[in-house]
Structure formats: structure tokens, C-alpha cells
Structure 1
């Protein structure tokens, strides 16, 4: 049987747990963790086989992210965010993939996608400026995908707005040190980045709307089911998988902590109320896991059959994905509240999992209002418009 990346992750479980605590102290993944993840192939799960990628089913990607996050939340988060970029780069201009992976297939690519910069058209490309927050794992990355607003000749955003994804090498952007001072997911090193008057050639840009609605994949001639998957399924998948994996790690840490603990009312194992809470939380975390995996299986089956994934299907998928994250974090709250005062100590792993789970829930793709609203309207046969279609 062929060894999978998740098997390699479990082989380095102790190392990931140990390095997770160190990553929180230094505010980014440790060099040891990045090296171990490269050796295991975490970021090559969705990478094209031409560049030594595995092109796995999205379910396997999600399961690997969960496993990694259960051991080290920051490593799992980076796995989910940075690990989804090869999926998108597979249908970028072929010159981009060659530039990024031609010399080193383990080159990592950061983001963020928020359009916090402006791209001014010039001959052959764009002059690009802006500042972005939340570039997860950026210290370990040599390239980046950044969201931009298309500008006019004076560099002012055009109206109505048009969004682009700009792909830049490390020499064309600055990482802002000391810009990631946060309460959770500290080890992800999700720092700010700045671009000043960088020239980005046309072929290193992608139309954001075409990426999100699937036009970019079709224009690139993609035939693999993996690369025809909707962006609004794949990008959130990595992030929510990390949150659920963190919840699984929190449950494991809680069980380890409570196993022999004696509380105010005696041995915790003899307390039926705590046992009830643990049982319910374990069931909810497992339910979150299963509904996320079942959802990606469903979308994959639609794509694999050659059918188009409708907006209603995409909205229902986003609804499921968001609810899975909230369900898992709510379960973590239930067990953390029953862990006693010593669980608050910074040398105990449970408090870090608790903080990191809540930090993961704060990501924009976990805001429930729009996907819930859009999904409900779709179920009534109403086609949502405007902002209700965002990230769906």
C-alpha cells in the first residue's frame, strides 16, 4: 500500500506537538516544522503531478490538514491555507508554475486574497502597490498571491470594481516584522506584506471573478476533477479543516488533562456531568468532521459526473462548511469550561488549542450571515444577487 502524507504526518507527531509551543513564542512556524512538512509533502497534496504533486482527492487534503492541526494548530492552519494555492496555480498561465516549481517543487506560495492593493495597467502588465494583512506562513514562502483592484491610468480603482489576483516573487514584496501580535494562531506568522511599485507581467495575473466562478479553469483547459472543483469549495475547505483539526486536538488535550485529575467534587472520571459534556463535545466535533468531508465528497461527485455545480449547491456547501466550524468550536468551549483553573496556565496545551480554535473561527469565510442567507434564498428558488453571492 502506498504511504500517504497523513501517515508521514503521524510519524512526526511528537515533533509537531513540541514545535507548536515554540512557534507560538516566536510568532511563526519553526524552521524544523517547515522542513518536516516539506519532507512529508503537506503542501504538495493539491500540486500538479508534473511538479511532483500528489493531486489527491480534496477529502484526503482535508483529512491531512485536520491531522496536522490536531498536533500543531499553526502548522495545520498553514497546511490548509498555503496548501490550497497549488490547486489554483494549476490553472494559471503555465509559465507561472514553471517559475515557482521549476527549480524546487517544495516552494511555498502565500496569500492573502483581500483586494487591498491597486494594479495600474502599463504596457505588458501592471504597476502594483498596496498593503495586506494576514499572510499566513509567509516567512516560509517564496511567492505570494495578492488580491488587487484594477486601477485606471492614475492608479485609482475603477468603478464598477474589478478584482485581480497578482502573483509575485519574494523580491517584489516586503514582509512587515512585528505585525502579528495576536491572541490566537500566533504560530502561523500571518504578518502584513507591502508592495511598492512592483511590475507584475500580464501572465502572472488572474481574473478573480473567473477564478471564483470556474471560468478560469475552463479557459485553461482543465480536465481533472480536482482542478475543476469550485474555488468556493476548495479555499474554505483548507481553513475549516484546520479549525476542526484544532478542535480534535483540544479534545485530545482535554482527555489527557482530565484522565487522572481530581477536582472540587472528587475524581473527574466519577463526575457524570463532566462525562456528559465530554461525550457530547466528542460527538459534535466528530459531526463537524463528517459533515465537512461528506460535503466535499458531494461536490466532487457532481464535478466528476460532468455536471455543473449550481449556485444553490455551492451556497449549501458554504452553509455546511461554516456550520461545521462553529459546531466544532462550540464543543471546545464546553470542554474547556469544565477543565478547571489549571487549564488556563500557559504551559498547558489546552488553552492554546482553545485560543487557536477561536482565532480560526474569526476568518472571513466563517462569517455565517451571507452563506446562510444565500442558501436559504436558493432553497426557495430565489437567485441571490450582489453581496449575497460573495465567496460563494
Structure 2
């Protein structure tokens, strides 16, 4: 099979600048996105044209292999304009990183003819796979595949059973569009525009080269590293993917903050007959919310930088670092939501109106909070247990 010869025609800064140029339009479409229950195709196409979806894609397939911080900065900014668009961008945009860990045969199938191919996902092991010659037979129904309308492949989590009915592995399966059905079930109060519908697969054969063992990815390994040798693809799976879930929520908080400040500058409090911006308690709330948002972001990106430094030195990423990433990730989500709650409560009755950005950010952020990656007690318990000297399974991080 011939080696791809695609080369990027953009750099990360050009992509970041392009995303900034798109924000006013994405913001204008936020209400439409919610009404349609899916990100408009025009928004996805525009993000594609500025190169956003190529940020974490291998250079050999026209990608940029960019710094993840550049990727997450773009996601944060998109989510500040529209929570649903930010969420879908984050999820679809991170998948090229994982596809790069698959066997080259799978990479060729996804990007060989069209390097703009997009992939959605649903990682919870809702599917059942049985071992067969050369691969697996997969069946199941998966929920919450955000952005699946804009993808032609899907990554699905499934438990692998042997002939005795025992679970022998937990794998991610890469499935083409003609082998699965999308069931429209997404009618929700928050993140309504993500189109996070169900995926149904009925007894489909998946070659082994189109699968990844979660045990292997948990050790920062994957067959695709043989051809994608950059440090980007040696980072830790769970750290990147949980950051992918928290970053849009921080973006929503930034958007809510900007909206609240603008509202308060123009608002006169009817009860007191004074400008809201002159209320000293309003100033305290703004200071508190901004600190929570900044702290969430700084810790999230600082941890990515520290993980990159370990990889650059050729070191194994310590379990303590992985646990700290999860600690700061779930608390980053909580800090962002606390900030939005504080701002929303202080914004007055006009913030309740349908179509206002602040109430939409409030609903979207709380919807994002229920994602499994944002389960704070589990992540914090694991961190604390490790601090007390108890053994923690590294495969879970």
C-alpha cells in the first residue's frame, strides 16, 4: 500500500486565527443550532475549511500534529460562542488523535481517500463482541454519539467475550457508516444542538486491525505508533479525552462571563434604581467567577504541559500525574459550573428569557456535567486513595 503524501497547508496559529474569525457567526447560529438539535452543516464546513479538524491528525494524512493546547484553546473559544458547537467540535476534533493509534490499515481506510473524514464515538462498553477468526462480531446499542450526523465512521466501546461467555477484553471498535444505524432520540434541555443520538450495530464483523484494546491505550500504546512516531501520539488516552469533555464547559463559562459583564454594564436594578455595575457585591461576584474560570483553565493546560514534558524526556507518565489530571479535570468542570451558577443567579430576570446566551450556557454546562468523565467523587476518591498509599489500577486513567 502506498504511503500517503498529504502535507498540511496551514499551521496551528492560522487555525486559531480562523476560529476567531468564525466566532461571531457561530454565536449568531446558537439558537438555530439548539432548534435544529444538531450543529448546522455550514458551521462544521467552516471549521473544516479553517483546518480545525486537522489539528490532531497525523501529518502523513494532511494533519498538523499540533500542540494539544492549541486544539483545546480553539475548543474553549468555540464553546464560548455556542456550547453545542463547542462540544461537538471537541469530540469530533479529538478523534483523529485516537485513529492515529490504530493499525495503519484502519488509518488508510478512514483517511486514505478523504483526509477530511470525520469520526464520532460512544465509548461506554454497551456493545457485545465475540471472538472470531481475524476479528470480532459486534452487536449493541450505544447512546450519546455527539455529532454523529457529521461523521462517516464511529468509535464504539464493547466488551469481548470468549466461547465460555467470559469477558476477556474491553476494546474500541472502528465501524464504517454503512454498518450502523443512527436512531434519533436526542430531545433534551441542555446541549440540545449536539445531535447526540443512538448508534445501533447488528452482528457486524470488525477486523482486529480496526480495534484497540483499552488495556493497551491505558499504557500509552497503540499499533499506529509504528507509523505516527511523534510525541503527540505518546500522550495518555484518558487524560486527553477527559480534558476534551471539560474544555467546552470552561468555554461555556467564559461565554457566560462575557455576557454577564455586558448585561450588568447596561442593567439598571429596578428594585434599587441604580446601575447594577455600581453594586459592590456584583463586583465581588465577577471577581470570584473569573478566578474560578481562570483556575480551571490554568490547571487543565498546565497538566497537559507536564505530561508533554514527561513524553519529551522519554519518561513513563507517572500514575500520580494521571491522577492529578483527573482530579483537576473534574474540579475544573465544577469550578466552571460554579462560576456560571454565580453569574446566572446575579443576572436578574432578563437572563431567563428564551434565546439569551446566559441561560443557554447555564443549561448546556449542567448538561455537560452529567457526562461520565465528570463524575467527581470517583476521580477524587482515586486520587485520595493514592495519596494514602493504596494501590490504584493505572488502566482506569
Answer yes or no: is the 8 Å Cα contact 1:87–1:227 preserved in 2.
yes
Query: Matched residues in 2 for 1:218 and 1:376: separation?
Result: 34
Answer yes or no: is the 8 Å Cα contact 2:147–2:194 preserved in 1.
yes
Select 1:323's aligned residue among 331, 337, 362: 331
Select 2:88's aligned residue among 75, 78, 90: 78
What is the aligned partner in structure 2 of residue 332 from structure 1?
A: 340
What is the aligned partner in structure 2 of residue 171 from structure 1?
A: 178
SS state at 1:46 partner: coil
Which stretches in structure 1 are left out of the alignment for 5+ residues? none
Deviations 1:87-127 (A, max 9, x none): 11112010111111112211110001111011122222222
Answer yes or no: is the 8 Å Cα contact 2:87–2:248 preserved in 1.
yes
Q: TM-score, normalised by structure 1?
A: 0.94
Answer yes or no: is the 8 Å Cα contact 2:246–2:330 preserved in 1.
yes
What is the aligned partner in structure 1 of residue 7 from structure 2?
A: none
Select 1:378's aligned residue among 369, 386, 391: 386
Superposition pairs of residues 193-204 of structure 1, within 5 angstroms: 193-204=199-210
State yes or no: 1:63 paired with 2:70: no
Query: Matched residues in 2 for 1:305 and 1:152: separation?
Result: 40
Query: Matched residues in 1 for 2:334 and 2:145: separation?
Result: 23
Deviations 1:335-366 (A, max 9, x none): 10011111011121110011111111111111
What is the aligned partner in structure 2 of residue 115 from structure 1?
A: 125
SS state at 1:257 partner: helix
Name the stretch that deviates more: 237-246 or 372-381: 372-381
Runs (4+) of structure 1 exceeding 6 A deviation are none
Instruction: Supply the RMSD in Å over aligned alpha carbons.
Output: 1.7
Deviations 1:293-315 (A, max 9, x none): 11111111111111101212111
Aligned residues: 385
C-alpha distance 11-82 of structure 1, shift in aligned 2 (>3 A): same
Query: Matched residues in 2 for 1:390 and 1:258: separation?
Result: 47
State yes or no: 1:349 paired with 2:345: no
Q: TM-score, normalised by structure 2?
A: 0.93
Shift of 1:217: 5.8
Select 2:267's aligned residue among 257, 261, 265: 261
Query: Matched residues in 1 for 2:225 and 2:240: separation?
Result: 19
Query: Matched residues in 1 for 2:224 and 2:111: separation?
Result: 23
Shift of 1:382: 2.6
Deviations 1:59-92 (A, max 9, x none): 1111111011111111111121111111111120
Select 2:222's aligned residue among 216, 221, 224: 216
Name the stretch that deviates more: 358-367 or 216-225: 216-225
What is the aligned partner in structure 2 of residue 225 from structure 1?
A: 231
What is the aligned partner in structure 1 of residue 191 from structure 2?
A: 185
What is the aligned partner in structure 2 of residue 100 from structure 1?
A: 110
C-alpha distance 104-221 of structure 1, shift in aligned 2 (>3 A): closer
State yes or no: 1:234 paired with 2:244: no
Query: Matched residues in 2 for 1:142 and 1:300: separation?
Result: 31
Which stretches in structure 2 are left out of the alignment for 5+ residues? 1-9
Superposition pairs of residues 280-295 of structure 1, within 5 angstroms: 280-295=288-303
Answer yes or no: is the 8 Å Cα contact 1:217–1:227 preserved in 2.
no
Answer yes or no: is the 8 Å Cα contact 1:115–1:146 preserved in 2.
yes
Deviations 1:314-342 (A, max 9, x none): 11111111111111110110010011111
Query: Matched residues in 2 for 1:19 and 1:48: separation?
Result: 31
Query: Matched residues in 1 for 2:236 and 2:224: separation?
Result: 11
Answer yes or no: is the 8 Å Cα contact 2:296–2:333 preserved in 1.
yes
Query: Matched residues in 2 for 1:363 and 1:196: separation?
Result: 26
Query: Matched residues in 1 for 2:104 and 2:208: separation?
Result: 13
Shift of 1:187: 0.7
SS state at 1:47 partner: coil
